[in-house]
Amino acid sequence: MGDKPYGIDEKRLQEYAVQIAEAVAMRVQVAVVIGGGNIFRGLSGATKGFDRVQGDQMGMLATVINSLALNSALQSLGLQSCVLTAVRMEPIGEFYSKQKALARLQKGQVVILAGGTGNPFFTTDTGASLRAIEIGADAMLKGTRVDGIYTADPEKDPKAVKFETISYDEVYARNLKVMDLTATTMCKENAMPIYVFDMDTAGNLKKVLAGEKIGTLVRN
């Protein structure tokens, strides 16, 4: 959303595309999973009278809209990219498979993975965890508007202390809201490290990939 109350902020979209282009220039293979909360959130929709299953399906479609917007922005920068969807919707995007994703990554394309897991009751975080594990990613980078994980919400508690590294077990013990429990458990069980950082600050993705410690690393 950027500075907008709803929808897609073109300025923020372009900033994300530029950061991803910087990662590609470092010869990093990039797969991207985007949420859809700027358009519709299935869980919040369920509290407003929407059927939960159909609400989640609406949320999945919202991630496809965002994925298409990012794909367009990346291609405007001269990058090769594609959208793979968890639910069939050719010609909007190709139906996802691990083999397709890996083949495109090996060709140097940015692969945008849309539609979450394709199933209701799963968040985009879980979709991202699943895809990261499936394609054998080195790490899952969770870009947020906060520069890491804190003992409490830093936007509400000025005394909150930031973690440089933290284990999955401590995330559970402290009941920290890094991701939903399903996504966190998947990463823990498959030894998939998560790096939480502020994606809304231009240049931060490149810093993370260069090894600068600007966020929080979660691992076993």
Domains of the chain by residue range: 1-137, 138-220
pLDDT of residue 33: 98
- Establish whether domains 1-137 and 138-220 are of one fold: yes
pLDDT class of 47 with cuts at 50, 70, 90: confident
With a CB cutoff of 8 Å and minimum separation 6, the contacts of 78 are none
DSSP output for the chain: -TTSSSS--HHHHHHHHHHHHHHHHTT---EEE---TTT--HHHHHTTT--HHHHHHHHHHHHHHHHHHHHHHHHHTT--EEEEESS-BTTTBEEP-HHHHHHHHHTTPEEEEESTTSSTT--HHHHHHHHHHHTT-S-EEEEESSSSEESS-TTT-TT--EESEEEHHHHHHHT--SS-HHHHHHHHHTT--EEEEETTSTTHHHHHHTT---SEEEE-
Is the pLDDT score of 41 beyond 80?
Answer: no
pLDDT digits (tens, 9 = 90+) for 62-74: 999 999 999 999 9
**What pLDDT band is residue 22 in, cutting at 50, 70 and 90?**
very high
Q: What is the pLDDT of residues 103-129, one digit of tens each?
A: 999 999 999 999 999 999 999 999 999
Mean pLDDT of the chain: 94
Tell me the whole-structure pTM to 2 decimals: 0.94
Checking if the pLDDT of 46 tops 70, the result is: no
Residues 173-205: tens digit of each pLDDT = 999 988 999 999 999 999 999 999 999 999 999
Which superfamily, per CATH, for 1-137?
Acetylglutamate kinase-like (3.40.1160.10)
Residue 42 has a pLDDT of 67
With a cut of 70, say whether residue 169 has pLDDT above it: yes
What b/e string do you get for 49-86 counting C-beta neighbours within 10 Å, with b at 16 or more? ebeeeebbbbbbbbbbbbbbbbbebbeeeebebbbbbb
- Check: CB of residue 195 under 8 Å from CB of residue 141: yes
The domain defined by 138-220 folds into Carbamate kinase (3.40.1160)
